[in-house]
């Protein structure tokens, strides 16, 4: 029935958007040098400069996401084999678990990130972009997440387009949230807030990894 197919297509599109939002948040959330830079700019310059910093980081992330997605498309045929897909998803869950544990037990560090007094948005945007772009290891994280959530579907280009847009939106939602919260607590801010963020994100990632193991082994689906 055409109506049923249409509904199924909408559900598939909705799911890929949710996956994209989740991937965007997870890839942006760790409070590394860019996160610290965003926090410092909010504290010293205000909320808008935190958002501009996030936009620069998000642009770099989507470039690496597209590169990672292109690489994943080359192994689509390999993943179509159920045993190969099982191995990749288990490996993806394992790496996601390691990442979550790293976030959970990491301590706030004093990153050597200089905050210039430049008031132009363009300068702040470009410095955040270049700082994020200088870490190509983000590709590995994208590959892990793409494999874990079966995100890449080359035969559905429209869904893929919306999925990558969702990654940008997810990243910007994170930077907006971070800038908003830091701006609200700027008078009482301390490194312990970064620790709380790391614990929160680490716990969510670990829960997703454990759920991934369970669903993969039992053959059930959560998406």
Alpha-carbon gap, residue 41 to 43, rounded angstroms = 5
Report, as an integer, the average pLDDT of 189-214: 77
Report, as an integer, the average pLDDT of 150-165: 86
Alpha-carbon gap, residue 11 to 44, rounded angstroms = 44
What are the C-alpha distances in Å from 170 to residues 63, 75, 92, 94? Answer: 15, 26, 20, 23
> If you search the block for the tokens 């939106």, which residue do you land on?
169
Length of the chain: 223
pLDDT computed for residue 140 by the predictor? 77
Percentage of residues in the chain having pLDDT higher than 70: 82
- Binned at pLDDT 50, 70 and 90, residue 30 comes out as low
Instruction: Give Cα 20 distance to the centre of its chain.
Output: 8
Q: How many CB atoms lie within 10 A of CB 130?
A: 11
Q: Which of 13-17, 66-70, 134-138, 188-192 has the lowest mean pLDDT?
A: 188-192
pLDDT computed for residue 74 by the predictor? 60
pLDDT computed for residue 2 by the predictor? 58
The helix/strand/coil state of 165 is helix
pLDDT computed for residue 85 by the predictor? 66
Alpha-carbon gap, residue 111 to 149, rounded angstroms = 32
pLDDT computed for residue 77 by the predictor? 58
Name the more confident of 165 and 35: 165
pLDDT surpasses 50 at 20: yes
pLDDT computed for residue 95 by the predictor? 75
Answer whether 0.85 is exceeded by the pTM.
no
Q: How many CB atoms lie within 10 A of CB 79?
A: 17
Report, as an integer, the average pLDDT of 144-166: 85
Alpha-carbon gap, residue 214 to 93, rounded angstroms = 10
pLDDT computed for residue 59 by the predictor? 93
- Binned at pLDDT 50, 70 and 90, residue 112 comes out as very low
**Secondary structure letter of residue 137 according to DSSP:** T
The two structure tokens encoding residue 5: 């197919």
pLDDT computed for residue 24 by the predictor? 92
pLDDT computed for residue 44 by the predictor? 85
Closest C-alpha among 60, 27, 215, 66 to residue 152: 66
**Burial of 192: CB neighbours in 10 Å, binned 0-12, 13-18, 19+:** exposed
Report, as an integer, the average pLDDT of 110-121: 57
């Amino acid at each position: 029935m055409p109506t049923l197919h249409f509904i199924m297509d909408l559900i598939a599109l909705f799911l890929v958007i949710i996956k994209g939002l989740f991937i965007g948040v997870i890839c942006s959330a760790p409070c590394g040098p860019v996160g610290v830079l965003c926090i410092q700019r909010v504290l010293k310059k205000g909320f808008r400069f935190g958002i501009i910093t996030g936009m620069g980081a998000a642009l770099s992330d989507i470039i690496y996401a597209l590169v990672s997605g292109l690489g994943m498309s080359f192994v689509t045929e390999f993943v179509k084999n159920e045993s190969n897909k099982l191995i990749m998803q288990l490996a993806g869950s394992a790496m996601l678990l390691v990442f979550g544990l790293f976030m959970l037990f990491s301590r706030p560090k004093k990153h050597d990130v200089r905050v210039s007094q430049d008031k132009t948005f363009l300068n702040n945007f470009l410095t955040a972009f270049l700082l994020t772009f200088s870490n190509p290891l983000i590709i590995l994280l994208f590959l892990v997440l793409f494999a874990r959530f079966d995100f890449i579907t080359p035969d559905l280009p429209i869904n893929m387009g919306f999925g990558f847009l969702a990654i940008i939106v997810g990243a910007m939602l994170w930077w907006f949230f971070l800038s908003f919260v830091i701006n609200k607590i700027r008078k009482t801010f301390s490194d312990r807030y970064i620790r709380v963020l790391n614990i929160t994100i680490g716990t969510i990632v670990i829960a997703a990894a454990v759920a991934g193991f369970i669903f993969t082994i039992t053959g059930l689906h959560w998406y």
